[in-house]
Amino acid sequence: MLTTVTPERVVDFRTRTVLRVLLIVLCVAITLEVVWIARHVLAWVVIALFLALALNPLVSWIQRRTPLSRGLAIGVAYLIVLIVIVGVGASFLPKLIDEVNGFVDALPSYVHDLTHGRGRLGFLETKYHVVEKVREAVQSGGAAKVLGLSGAALSVTKSIISLIAATVTIVFLTFFMLLEGGGWMERIYSLFSDNSQARVRKIGDDIYKTVGGYVTGNILISLVAGASSTIVLLIMGVPYAVALGLLVAVLDLIPLAGATVAGVVVSLVAFLHSIPAGVVVVIFVIVYQQIENHFLQPVIYGRTVQLSALAVLVSVLVGAELAGILGALAAIPVAGTLQVLIRDQLAYRRASGPQPALAGGAQPPG
């Protein structure tokens, strides 16, 4: 019985193909490395983009109502925002200063109670012996602790300088995005043919509305968080309620970590006031965060970004898993952008699909 031997199949790649694949892999690796190195700058760009989208309606309104140029309209918008910030600060700053001074004045009594095992923080000493442990760590550390403290001070100084630099950079990035954003979009539109420019412009407008709606929704949710926290703190008689509510509103703008940090700070201050107030505030923080994450965000973003509640929740979870806070911040705009592109592609395919045949074999009018 004869057996047939199947010849081996050899796939031969040309040298040009191998070099092309290697070049593509190298370019991707270099791009990822550059993105990782410049991740802080990219975060500044994303924040500036959100601010530009939030301010653009105000700038456009000023341009329509006044004969000012684009640059002067942006300057007026900046001035209006600055006046609003100063007005809010003037309303809250005196109360904030009084509350901070009161907290600083109360710190010695808190420390005294802690070291003597009395008061609301006395359990830290009587049960966990915190003072002895801290004193032992300082004594055993010696000069190393001093150097560590100086290193921490240096780190804090660097962080403050970085924060100032980031703020100034974001302000200028936002200005130039507002000033030149329209021109850049026109250059991008001009790359397409005349027949497809109308379609591309519609896609761009829909994406702009989606991202702008996200920025508006995020600000609205932060205002709700700050106002509700202030009301609960005032009801429980917790000091520094106005300042803490303002802190919650600002930190709530940061996805995921911001609300958690604000909740921890508010709860600690409430416990320093009284145990019942601390318990109530902790319960409020937990309940409110669940309501915000699973109800407010899906509903508000669903109306402003035109995404379903499930899509909002899934996109935030995926974005946070992939890129942390920045990923959570950009997840909803990215999801909204993908939805705009998918809807446009489906509409284009339906419009360019085969026309249904007419009854009786009749020819379409032409």
Q: What is the pLDDT of residue 282?
A: 92
Residue 96, both tokens: 């904030």
Contact of 267 with 130, CB cutoff 8 Å: no
CA distances from 50 to 5, 199, 226, 333 (A): 66, 24, 21, 10
pLDDT band at 295 (very low <50, low <70, confident <90, very high): confident
Mean pLDDT of 276-302: 85
Q: What is the pLDDT of residue 356?
A: 55
Q: What is the pLDDT of residue 146?
A: 46
Separation between Cα atoms, residue 276 and residue 328, nearest integer Å? 34
Q: What is the pLDDT of residue 280?
A: 92
Contact of 204 with 185, CB cutoff 8 Å: yes
Separation between Cα atoms, residue 171 and residue 44, nearest integer Å? 10
Q: What is the pLDDT of residue 287?
A: 92
Contacts with 227 (C-beta within 8 Å, 6 or more apart), sequence order: 245, 249
Q: What are the backbone dihedrals phi and psi of residue 6, each rounded to the nearest 5 degrees, phi first?
A: -80, 125
pLDDT tens-place string over residues 244-257: 888 888 888 776 66
Asked which of 45-49, 123-127, 337-341 is least confident by mean pLDDT, the reply is: 123-127
Q: What is the pLDDT of residue 124?
A: 59
pLDDT band at 231 (very low <50, low <70, confident <90, very high): very high
Residue 30, both tokens: 């270099």
Task: State yes or no: pLDDT of 75 exceeds 80.
Answer: yes
Task: State yes or no: pLDDT of 212 exceeds 60.
Answer: yes
Separation between Cα atoms, residue 42 and residue 329, nearest integer Å? 13
Q: Which residue has the higher pLDDT, 10 or 228?
A: 228
Q: What is the pLDDT of residue 232?
A: 92
> C-alpha dihedral over 99, 100, 105, 107, to 10 degrees?
110
Handedness of CA 250, 251, 256, 260 (dihedral sign): negative
Q: What is the pLDDT of residue 141?
A: 54
Q: What is the pLDDT of residue 228?
A: 92
Task: State yes or no: pLDDT of 297 exceeds 90.
Answer: no
What is the 3 state secondary structure string of the chain? CCCCCCCCCCCCCCHHHHHHHHHHHHHHHHHHHHHHHCHHHHHHHHHHHHHHHHHHHHHHHHHHHCCCCHHHHHHHHHHHHHHHHHHHHHHHHHHHHHHHHHHHHHHHHHHHHHHHCCCCCHHHHHCCCHHHHHHHHHHHHCHHHHHHHHHHHHHHHHHHHHHHHHHHHHHHHHHHHHHHHHHHHHHHHHCCCHHHHHHHHHHHHHHHHHHHHHHHHHHHHHHHHHHHHHHHHHHCCCCCHHHHHHHHHHHCCCCCHHHHHHHHHHHHHHHHHCHHHHHHHHHHHHHHHHHHHHHHHHHHHHHHCCCCHHHHHHHHHHHHHHHHHHHHHHHHHHHHHHHHHHHHHHHHHHHHCCCCCCHHHCCCCC
Mean pLDDT of 43-65: 85
- CA 228, 264, 227 angle in degrees (round to 5)? 15
The chain-wide mean pLDDT, for the chain, equals 78
Q: What is the pTM assigned to this prediction?
A: 0.61
Task: State yes or no: pLDDT of 237 exceeds 80.
Answer: yes
pLDDT tens-place string over residues 128-177: 666 666 666 655 655 445 445 555 566 767 778 888 888 889 899 999 98
Separation between Cα atoms, residue 214 and residue 208, nearest integer Å? 10
Task: State yes or no: pLDDT of 47 exceeds 50.
Answer: yes
pLDDT band at 103 (very low <50, low <70, confident <90, very high): low
Separation between Cα atoms, residue 331 and residue 32, nearest integer Å? 19
Q: Which of 333, 238, 338, 339 is nearest to 284 (CA)?
A: 238
Q: What is the pLDDT of residue 197?
A: 83
| Highest-confidence segment of 23-27, 298-302, 313-317 | 23-27
Q: Which residue has the higher pLDDT, 219 or 75?
A: 75
